[in-house]
Structure 1
């Protein structure tokens, strides 16, 4: 599990990114894994951009999950 932080104008909780994510991948019959953390997307980045960046980061760190099915993805502002 890791989080990635980039500089952006959005204020964030001290030491955290501007958005919180949860990402679950499944290899049917083999394993299911969930990652969570915070991220501050680059200015102008879309939800899809963040999805692809996180998916690529997970696949780079865990190549066996590169063909996993996405069963859950959530990206929300990191505030109450």
Structure 2
């Protein structure tokens, strides 16, 4: 998953994606993993598409978590 650059208001700020996300997955009684980041989904992507992409990325980086339960997922526009 690649974060695409967006315009920032500070010259020292790192480019961020259009959306901020948080996902927590758990293998009950064995392990829990929380990840977060920013991402600009491709044009036409749905919330479900983003959910699956993030869960797939977590499993790619930690194969044990491929069958984990999602206990929390948040996806919001990355703006105040």
The two structures have a TM-score, normalised by structure 2, of 0.85
Cα distance in 2 between the residues matched to 1:36 and 1:57:
12
Give the Å deviation of 1:55.
0.7
What's the counterpart of residue 25 of structure 1?
Answer: 25
The alignment covers a number of residue pairs equal to: 75
Give the Å deviation of 1:6.
4.2
The two structures have a TM-score, normalised by structure 1, of 0.85
What's the counterpart of residue 71 of structure 1?
Answer: 71
Contact 1:21–1:74 (CA<8 Å) still a contact in 2? yes
**Quick check: which has more Rg, 1 or 2?**
2
Cα distance in 2 between the residues matched to 1:70 and 1:49:
15
User: SS of the residue aligned with 2:75?
Assistant: strand
**Runs of 4+ deviating beyond 3 Å:** 11-14
What's the counterpart of residue 5 of structure 1?
Answer: 3
- Structure 2 unaligned blocks of 5 or more: 9-13
Question: How well do the aligned residues superpose, as a CA RMSD in angstroms?
Answer: 1.7
| Alpha carbons of structure 1 residues 36 and 28: separation in structure 2 relative to 1, 3 Å | same
